[in-house]
């Protein structure tokens, strides 16, 4: 049985959690394959809202085993906090029972966070992600499987602390790493998570051979990919479909479907070019920010907002070959007089339809728009009623008002990706799926 991949198709924060929730109900494994606690997703259980950063979104399905995969960099202190909050809310301690940490994943240490605090260019989340990946590439990082050996090797600990301190000094960070503290940290990680540290690639491979469904959960988005994104304003990992299996420790042949998640508009946090960006303080940009509550889950920073960029989405499709597009937060556009879609860029007098590779060129691009009539704002209840009616009648996307449907169909046409689901509100019921498609299922309830 197959693996399905869910990816952010833009610059992250597309609202992947809800789509993952829907698919997790039918999956027995949910695997994060890259990134770390730079990601963030919000889980609503009853009256409580929980922000998680590393635990896969599939956690709300009790049948789902959870993997923090080979390709990740993991902050054990943040993981402990997430697990504490999960236990307080549900009474469950999944670590070692249904939550597993890959032996091959890299450990984020206090040094990595300190070093990341020196970033002035990219506007990183400051969580130590880039420095942890840098250590991995330099082959000096510590993987979870190495914790035992390193923590009992005094010489290695001193060398490591010395290297870290030189690097902190070089970037003007005043804090220093004491060898004793480093050793104590490593020992604590083994004590706290020892049971959960496993050869997860082997476990997921075996599950696939046994016919189980596996969900591969992407973090960040296509435009933040280290190789294919808007470099250098990107994250430090390969966020794309090609890495979904690799970072999970299985082969690409297992994947049968790959869903791209895109907002009906665009947001970006951190620095870097964003051709369709709108002024934040007024007009449609402000409408998107306020109605869409566009603040980062991890850092709380306001997200930059703009119109949907088809040039970026087509690029993202070229890299990832989406079998279906999940359009999120369409309801947020309700109440705007007109809605624009960027179909190309003007660069030095020419109209281009692909993203230039250089960020300097991208920063000079002026979007070419086509303009669609707006549609009225509806209440959450009205959208949910529309979604319920769509499910009850089997009318699929046809349950949407004509102007909304035309906007959605135009996105399909311009992107070349079939829209399989449209998110019209935060509620689990507030999704309208294409009839007979992979998201044409009854709304899932959390099993806690």
Q: Which residues are catalytic?
A: 13, 41
Strand intervals (E) in 152-286: 197-198, 214-217, 255-263, 266-268
Query: Do residues 125 and 298 lie in contact, with contact meaning Cβ atoms separated by under 8 Å?
Result: yes
CB 2 within 8 A of CB 255: yes
CB of 225 to ligand IMP, least distance (A): 10
Residue 274 to residue 161: CA distance in whole angstroms? 39
Q: How far apart, in whole angstroms, are the C-alpha atoms of residue 416 and residue 287?
A: 28
Question: Which two tokens mark 77?
Answer: 């202190």
Integer Cα distance of 431 and 399 in angstroms: 11
In this structure, how many other beta carbons lie within 10 angstroms of the beta carbon of residue 153? Answer: 15
Q: Rounded to an integer, what is the distance from CA 207 to the centroid of its chain?
A: 24
CA distance 223 to 7: 11
Residue 88 to residue 329: CA distance in whole angstroms = 30
Report the number of secondary-structure helices (H) and strands (E) in the chain.
Answer: 14, 20
Which CB, 226 or 404, lies closer to ligand IMP? 226
Nearest by Cα to 416 from 333, 330, 320, 347: 320
- Could you tell me the smallest distance in angstroms from the CB atom of residue 224 to ligand IMP? 5
Instruction: Tell me the DSSP string of 10-59.
Output: SSS-S-HHHHHHHHHTT-SEEEE-SB-TT--EEEEETTEEEEESSS-GGG
CB 218 within 8 A of CB 229: no
Smallest gap from Cβ 422 to ligand IMP, in A, equals 21
Strands 324-328 and 419-423, sheet pairing: parallel
CA distance 439 to 448: 22
By beta carbon distance, the residue nearest ligand IMP is 270
SS3 312: helix
Instruction: Give the span between the Cα atoms of 307 and 284, in whole angstroms.
Output: 9
For ligand IMP, which is the closer residue by CB, 38 or 343?
Answer: 38
User: Virtual CA dihedral for 20, 304, 343, 418, nearest 10 degrees?
Assistant: 10
Pick the closest to residue 204 from 246, 237, 257 (CA basis): 246
CB 305 within 8 A of CB 294: yes
- Chain residues binding ligand IMP by CB under 6 A are 12-13, 38-39, 122-125, 127, 129-130, 219-220, 224, 233, 235-236, 269-270
Q: How far is the CB of 39 from ligand IMP (least distance, A)?
A: 4
**Per-residue exposure over 20-42, b if at least 16 CB sit within 10 Å of its own CB, e if not:** bbbbbbebbbbbbbbbbbbbbbe
Question: Which is nearer to ligand IMP, 236 or 243 (by Cβ)?
Answer: 236
């Amino acid at each position: 049985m197959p693996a399905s991949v869910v990816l952010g198709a833009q610059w992250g924060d597309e609202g992947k959690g809800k789509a993952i929730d829907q698919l997790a109900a039918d999956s027995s494994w949910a695997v994060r394959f890259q990134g770390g606690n730079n990601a963030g997703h919000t889980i609503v259980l009853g009256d409580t809202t929980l922000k998680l950063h590393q635990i896969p979104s599939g956690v709300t399905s009790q049948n789902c085993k959870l993997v923090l995969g080979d390709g990740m960099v993991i902050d054990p202190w943040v993981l402990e906090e997430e697990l504490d909050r999960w236990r307080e809310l549900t009474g469950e301690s999944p670590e070692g029972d249904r939550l597993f940490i890959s032996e091959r994943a890299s450990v984020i240490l206090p040094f990595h966070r300190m070093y990341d605090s020196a970033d002035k260019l990219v506007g990183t989340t400051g969580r130590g992600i880039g420095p942890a990946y840098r250590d991995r590439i330099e082959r000096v990082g510590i993987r979870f499987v190495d914790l035992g050996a390193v923590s009992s090797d005094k010489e290695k600990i001193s060398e490591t602390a010395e290297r870290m301190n030189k690097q902190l000094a070089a970037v003007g960070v005043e804090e220093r790493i004491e060898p004793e503290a480093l050793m104590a940290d490593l020992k604590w990680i083994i004590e706290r998570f020892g049971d959960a540290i496993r050869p997860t690639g082997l476990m997921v491979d075996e599950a696939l051979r046994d016919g189980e469904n596996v969900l591969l959960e992407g973090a960040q988005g296509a435009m933040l990919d280290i190789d294919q994104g808007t470099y250098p304003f990107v994250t430090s990992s390969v966020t794309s479909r090609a890495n979904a299996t690799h970072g999970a420790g299985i082969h690409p042949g297992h994947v049968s479907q790959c869903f791209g998640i895109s907002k009906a508009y665009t947001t970006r946090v951190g620095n870097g070019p964003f051709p369709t960006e709108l002024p934040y303080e007024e007009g449609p940009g402000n409408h998107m920010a306020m109605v869409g509550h566009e603040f980062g889950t991890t850092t709380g920073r306001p997200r930059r907002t703009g119109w949907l960029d088809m040039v970026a989405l087509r690029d993202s499709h070229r890299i990832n070959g989406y079998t279906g597009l999940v359009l999120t937060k369409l309801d947020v556009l309700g109440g705007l007089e007109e809605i624009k879609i960027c179909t190309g860029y003007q660069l030095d007098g020419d109209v281009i339809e692909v993203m230039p590779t250089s960020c300097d060129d991208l920063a000079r691009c002026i979007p070419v728009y086509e303009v669609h009539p707006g549609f009225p704002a509806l209440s959450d209840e009205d959208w949910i009623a529309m979604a319920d009616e769509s499910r009850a009648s089997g009318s699929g996307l046809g349950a949407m008002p004509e102007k909304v449907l035309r906007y959605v169909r135009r996105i399909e046409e311009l992107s070349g990706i079939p829209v399989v689901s449209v998110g019209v509100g935060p509620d689990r019921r507030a999704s309208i799926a294409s009839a007979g498609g992979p998201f044409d299922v009854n709304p899932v309830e959390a099993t806690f």
